[in-house]
Amino acid sequence: MASGKNPDNNNLSQRELEILELVATGLTNNDIADKLEISKRTVDNHISNILTKTKTDNRVELVRWALQWGKICLDEVNCCTLPEYLSSE
């Protein structure tokens, strides 16, 4: 797993981050496709790109990576709130 790699170098798009969050909730690719109203093949392609960019081999490693780098928040775990002066910029 790419635990030592800086996540900023991975350049995940907003859509990829959205899909990453849905993967972390346990949705299948079919469920994600239905929720986002896109094809399963498009979801498959996004997830393949995400795995490549994050240098992870599977969904479990991907979710661990995302938690480690603060890309996702699960049940108030690994969540941070930006100071108010930063979030208004």
Per the prediction, the chain carries an average pLDDT of 83
pLDDT tier for residue 27 given thresholds of 50, 70 and 90: very high
The domain segmentation of the chain, as residue ranges, is 10-77
**What class, spelled out in words, does domain 10-77 have in CATH?**
mainly alpha
Is residue 64 a contact partner of residue 1, using CB atoms and an 8 Å limit?
yes
One DSSP character per residue, 12-38 reads --HHHHHHHHHHHTT--HHHHHHHHTS
Q: What is the pLDDT of residue 67?
A: 87
Render pLDDT for 58-89 as a digit per residue (tens, 0 to 9).
Answer: 999 999 999 888 888 766 655 655 445 444 44
pLDDT-above-90 percentage for the chain: 62
Residue of 27, 70, 23, 71 lying closest to 47 (CA atoms): 23
Range 5-34 average pLDDT: 87
